Structure 1
Amino acid sequence: MGKKTIIIGGGIVGLSCAYYLSELGYEVTVIDKSEMDGGASYVNAGYLTPSHIIPLASPGMMAKGIKWMFKSASPFYMQPRLDMDFLKWAWYFSRSSTSSHVEKAIPLIKDINLLSMDLYGDMHASGNLGNFQLEKKGLLMLYKTTKEGNHEKEVALRAKDEGLEVRELTKDQLNTLQPNLSDEIDGAVHYLCDAHTSPNEIMQNLKRYLSENGVDFKLREEAIDFTFQNKKISKVITNKGSYEADDVIIAAGSWSQNLAKKLRLKINLQAGKGYRINVKRPTDVILPAILMEAKVAVTPMKEFTRFAGTMELSGINHKIKTNRVRAIAHAAGSYYNGLEISETEISAAKCGLRPVSPDGLPYIGKTSKFDNLTIATGHAMMGWSLGPATGKLISEIISDSKLSMDISGFHPERKF
């Protein structure tokens, strides 16, 4: 067997790291505090989104956050709280929300998304994870107002400049592609470059494949500390024992910041809560779509339709705010004729926490303090889309192989 590698975190990023490292012959152990059957990797919209070239930290977002701060059902909600980590994050987020930052981020986001989409395709073609859902029908951006329409058309032009396939749709073209839409919808932009999946299916198949191929899973076990000396981590300590490691990967999502503190590292993150509703009956939804004014994602998955959304910065907790779930349900009914989400479906809603960096870009790479530590977190709303690319890049970093792309913009110690 190869070197002992400990991965802390069993979401799509952690499992993707395990997938590519195990292929290289590394002895991989994944430690996760949960049963690995819920969270952001299971409740997301399942999108693979080269089209999402604009980072969360962009001009006007901080103003929206402040405006919506006291509207707990708003799409982007920052819960007011006197927490130093949150206040630092908010300050860095504000500083990052500039046009120059967006321009630097666009090619990085595009390149890593395209890499990840290719890798999902490779996984699908290999048959290792079964014949999972991977459909390239594109993504509709549905808008009701001229303001949102003009904004998305500007993004579409920028996406075309980056070589992405996108087109504007007339109402007639839209209604042909996706019948039964509300008359209030003014138009749409169709990003043909995008694809979609069913996350639960892939996660279950990935766990099975990795287990069958020698990856050791430590479930319901929480990493709480480390043994280290000079620039090397020797052991990962959990609430149940300790594990020797040649390499350590922190891919613990929203919990990564607290783990980094144990190593005297500063990884600035906030947990961004998202919600999902599954509707397990016919909905007439044919194409994945984002309901722009409501910031709700709609995905036709295997055997059900998923409605997902919101970015709630309220700390690490899994409290479900029913008014936020109802806002998603209301949006669905206002964009699709005759669609009414029931109280039973609303009450079955789940949430997940996405790790959000201040500039909206992931942390991928080594730190200067430890030779055998690699960070893989901070993907915000693109975690599902970027999982395989991150795993592949981490495997290349650890094995000292040629990188699939330039990752200097994702450095864990970058300044904000």
Structure 2
Amino acid sequence: MGTGTRGSGGPRSAVIVGAGMVGLSTAWFLQERGVEVTVVDRAGVAAGASHGNAGWLSPGLAIPLNEPSVLRYGLRSLADPKAPLHVPVTVDPDLWRFLLRFAAHCTWGSWRRAAHAGLPLNQAALDAFDELAENGVRAETHRAPVTALFRDRSDATHLLQELRRMREVGQHIDYTGLEGPDLRERLPQASGQITAAVRLDGQRYVDPGAFTRSLADSVRDRGGVVLDGFEVIETHRSADQSVVRSSSAETISADVLVLATGAWLDRLSRQWGVRVPVRAGRGYSFTVPTSDPVTGPIYLPEARVACTPYRGSLRVAGTMEFQPPDAALDQARIEAIVDSARPLLTGVDWDRRTDEWVGPRPVTPDGRALVGEVGVPGVYVAGGHGMWGLTQGPVTGRLLAELITTGRRPDPLRELDPLR
């Protein structure tokens, strides 16, 4: 694989398209292996899903989306405009083809394959973050459990089943049930409607935008180039060089090319033979003040809402909306999140929202990311991590850098073959 770029001991230069967590992690780990990197992005560092997501580093909850119950839930959601899963009425044939493929993968066999494919990434995810932090990325990861809240003990059944299934495929997860005074003491934000909780230990969280920007700073400090406002409209190979051309006709050449453009991956990857589609499963977030400090992430499974301590306040994130990645923010989706979360938490000033945001998460129909070399030596893709691009971004970059510089595909990437 890629022998044309490695004849003299490996590639010496790389151009990475996409300045999110996956693209910048790939650049950073390529630098560890002596490769000169240039990262380009049409908008800027952390301009997509790497900015406004919940900030969870939660391998224990990196559960594939394509379980059978999601299909049943999705069909019910079509008639509810406030449902966490939102598929707008549209004549977009590509979207409906994608959703039909996704539905075909909502089987336990396909789910288990996706879970096994993600397992190596989950197992090494936090170690990859530690490697970044120990070697120049000046942004903190906070250790804290994720606490899921429920109105009734029976409501926790589905989450507990998911966690048991993840354990069965090999994921190490520590979780504990909480009730009564113990729950109130540990999480005073739980409203009077909450009677039970499940605490997942061994998880972390970050300020995602700050971490991604710090990662970009580290890439620059180590001699890399990070260019904003560089919209790539064409990529090709010429004389063992990968060439990208911007909308302003500027070109950059390097030994290898990495496409890490998140929900926009299809636009550039299809010409290289990647046939697994990537769609934008857009998520919304905003920040609200709280009367008391929140000590760790809170999960509201009933509302499909994730809450995270964020700069002295609370970041609230939710919704899976299948809209074009560049579509405008829909205020109704923000209101739907507020309406679903308000009864479950206390001490939150829902009316003083700031930082309202929408961003696209790259979703594949089979629940597996796309990471590896395409059919042309020297061209690679990295994306399609769904809701877990932040958690799995650094380890993805580390594995891809190993493949690029050695020509040997690490075992964890076999099930993520972009040409499957």
Counterpart residue number, 1:362: 369
Matching residue's letter, 2:384: G
Output the CA distance in 2 between the equivalents of 1:156 and 1:168: 13
Q: Shift of residue 403 of structure 1?
A: 5.8
What SS does the aligned partner of 1:157 have?
helix
Contact 2:175 2:201 in 1 (8 A): yes
- Deviation at 1:387? 0.8
Cα deviation per residue 1:265-311 (whole Å; 9 max; x = unaligned)?
42401111111111255444222111111000011133332111111
Distance 1:164 1:81 in 2: 40
Q: 2:380 aligns with which of 363, 374, 389?
A: 374
Q: Counterpart in 1 of 2:197?
A: 188
Q: In the alignment, which of 258, 268, 279 is matched to residue 259 of structure 1? A: 268
Partner SS state of residue 305, structure 1: strand
Q: 2:231 aligns with which of 222, 227, 230?
A: 222
Alignment of 1:301-340 (within 5 A): 301-340=310-349
SS at match of 2:319: strand
Question: 1:2 offset after TM fit, Å?
Answer: 5.8
Distance in 2 separating the partners of 1:2 and 1:260: 21
- Using the TM superposition, give the Cα deviation of residue 75 of structure 1 relative to its aligned residue in structure 2, in angstroms: 0.6
C-alpha distance in 2 between matches for 1:358 and 1:142: 29
Matched, 1:125 2:134: yes
Which letter maps to 1:288?
P
Pick which of 403-412 and 316-325 moved more: 403-412
Deviation (angstroms), 1:404? 5.8
CA 1:148/1:375 → structure 2, altered by over 3 Å: closer, same or farther?
farther
- Residues 1:172 and 1:386: Cα distance change in structure 2 (over 3 Å): same
Deviation of 1:35 after TM superposition, in Å, equals: 2.7
Partners in 1 of 2:72 and 2:165 — Cα distance?
Answer: 23
Query: Do the aligned residues in 1 keep the contact of 2:242 with 2:378 (CA within 8 Å)?
Result: no
SS across alignment from 2:133:
helix
Taking structure 1 as reference, are residues 280 and 214 closer, same or farther at Cα in structure 2, changes over 3 Å only?
A: farther
Q: Distance in 2 between matches of 1:12 and 1:160?
A: 27
2:308 pairs with 299, 310, 313, which one? 299
CA distance in 2, matches of 1:239, 1:58: 40
* C-alpha distance after superposition, 1:103-150 (max 9, x if no partner): 222233232122111111222233x122x2312212112122455311
Judge conservation of contact 1:356–1:378 (CA < 8 Å) in 2.
yes
Matching residue within 394, 399, 403 for 2:405: 399
Unaligned runs of at least 5 residues, structure 2: 1-9
Asked whether 1:237 is paired with 2:245, we answer yes
Cα distance 1:4–1:315, how it changes in 2: closer, same or farther (>3 A)? same
Match of 2:178 in 1: 169
The whole-number CA distance in structure 1 between the counterparts of 2:158 and 2:321 is 23
Distance 2:214 2:233 in 1: 28
Letter in 2 for 1:141: A
Q: Mark the CA change 1:186 to 1:87 in structure 2 (over 3 Å): closer, same or farther.
A: same
- Residue 278 of structure 2 corresponds to 269
What secondary structure is seen at the aligned counterpart in 1 of 2:243? strand
Give the superposed CA RMSD: 2.2
String of CA shifts for 1:7-28, please: whole Å, max 9, x gaps.
0100010000111011211111
Contact map agreement 1:295 1:309 (CA 8 A) in 2: yes
Q: Distance in 1 between matches of 2:378 and 2:407?
A: 15
Q: Whole-Å Cα distance in 1 between the matches of residues 109 and 241 of structure 2? A: 37
Aligned partner of 1:200 in structure 2 is 209
SS class of match (2:389):
helix
CA distance in 1, matches of 2:241, 2:92: 30
Alignment of 1:102-113 (within 5 A): 102-113=111-122
For residues 140 and 310 of structure 2, the distance between their equivalents in structure 1, rounded to whole angstroms, comes to: 8
Following superposition, the deviation at residue 264 of structure 1 comes to: 4.9
Given candidates 91, 95, 106, the residue that maps to 1:86 is 95
Alpha-carbon distance between aligned partners in 1 of 2:109 and 2:11, rounded to the nearest angstrom: 43
One-letter amino acid of the structure 2 residue matched with residue 239 of structure 1: S
What is the number of residues matched between the two proteins?
408
- Residue type matched to 1:228 in 2? R
Given residue 105 of structure 2, which amino acid in structure 1 is its aligned partner?
S
Q: Is the 8 A contact 1:236 1:242 kept in 2?
A: yes
Counterpart code for 2:393: G
1:156 corresponds to which residue?
163
Tell me the distance in 2 between the aligned counterparts of 1:318 and 1:282: 34
Q: Which runs of 5+ in 1 are unaligned?
A: none
Offset from partner CA, 1:350-397 (integer Å, 9 cap, x none): 111111000222111112x21111110101100111110111011011
AA in 1 matched with 2:261: A
- Report the CA distance between 1:41 and its aligned residue: 0.2
Counterpart residue type for residue 354 of structure 1: R
Which of 142, 148, 155 is the aligned partner of 1:141?
148
| CA shift for structure 1 position 229 | 6.2
Do the aligned residues in 2 keep the contact of 1:268 with 1:357 (CA within 8 Å)? yes
Q: State the SS of the aligned residue for 1:189.
A: strand
- State the partner residue of 2:395: 389
Is residue 2:385 matched to residue 1:350? no
Contact (CA 8 Å) 1:139, 1:194: kept in 2 or not?
A: yes
CA distance in 1, matches of 2:33, 2:179: 49
Match of 1:95 in 2: 104
2:88–2:323 contact (8 Å) kept in structure 1: yes
Q: 3-state DSSP class of the match of 1:169? A: strand
Which residue is 1:50 aligned to? 59
Contact 1:33 1:222 in 2 (8 A): yes
CA pair 387-243 structure 1, distance change in 2 beyond 3 A = same
> Matches of 1:304 and 1:353 in 2, distance apart?
23
Q: Which amino acid aligns with 2:14?
A: T
